[in-house]
């Protein structure tokens, strides 16, 4: 069954898609993918999962779903916070921030995907592979995860600065 991408981002459609597939679906027989994280990405995802009070798998799935939407909500949050703070303050706050690069690492993690995600991600990776034959599904996962972590890091930093009045911190 081909599931539209909005079924992955809309909780009601996701529930309906899950329930329409019949009985016997659980995390043990869910679609899986092995991701090889660099250590800094692995640690950042663990910190975010603790902050959000969800499992590492839940954090990875949230990052992948956000990636399917182009990280639109996080991008908007970052733009709003940056506009409120002003460009000078944003540059000052982010001057020490080292973004995480999407490179393959030694830390393996088996991601249990939500139903329908595998098909959508495979299709996106196939489209990118037409443009760049060296592109892989693994690279797509790493790009989504790194962008998620980097944006979350920046938005948390900017939100904290807004709440604490950045001019006093400076």
CB contact at 8 A, 12 and 94: no
**DSSP conformation letters of 59-101:** HHHHHHHHHHTTTHHHHHHHHHHHHHH-HHHHHHHHTT--PPP
pLDDT computed for residue 20 by the predictor: 52
* Confidence (pLDDT) at 3: 43
pLDDT digits (tens, 9 = 90+) for 77-106: 999 999 999 989 999 999 988 888 888 888
Angstrom distance (rounded) from CA 153 to CA 133: 32
Comparing 152 with 166, the larger pLDDT belongs to: 152
- The H-or-E segment that residue 152 falls in is helix 137-164
Question: What does the chain come to in residues?
Answer: 170
pTM of the model: 0.78
Given pLDDT bands bounded at 50, 70 and 90, which one contains residue 9?
Answer: low
**Mean predicted lDDT score pLDDT of the chain:** 83
Q: Confidence class of residue 169 from pLDDT cuts 50, 70 and 90?
A: low
Give the pLDDT confidence score for residue 28 in this predicted structure: 72
Q: Is 100 exposed, middle or buried (0-12, 13-18, 19+ CB in 10 A)?
A: buried
30-60: pLDDT as tens digits = 788 888 888 899 999 999 999 989 999 999 9
**Per-residue pLDDT at 114 exceeds 90:** no
């Amino acid at each position: 069954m081909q599931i539209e991408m909005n079924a992955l981002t809309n909780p009601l459609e996701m529930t309906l898609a899950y329930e329409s597939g019949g009985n016997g679906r659980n995390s043990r027989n869910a679609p899986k993918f092995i991701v090889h994280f660099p250590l800094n990405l692995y640690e950042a995802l663990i910190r975010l999962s603790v902050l959000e009070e969800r499992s590492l798998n839940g954090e990875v799935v949230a990052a992948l779903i956000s990636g399917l939407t182009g990280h639109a909500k996080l991008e908007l949050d970052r733009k709003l916070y940056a506009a409120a703070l002003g460009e000078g303050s944003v540059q000052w706050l982010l001057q020490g921030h080292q973004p995480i690069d999407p490179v393959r690492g030694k830390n393996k993690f088996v991601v249990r995907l939500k139903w329908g995600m595998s098909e959508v991600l495979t299709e996106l990776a196939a489209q990118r592979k037409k443009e760049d034959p060296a592109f892989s599904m693994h690279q797509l996962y790493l790009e989504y995860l790194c962008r998620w972590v980097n944006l979350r890091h920046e938005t948390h930093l900017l939100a904290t600065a807004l709440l604490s009045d950045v001019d006093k911190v400076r």
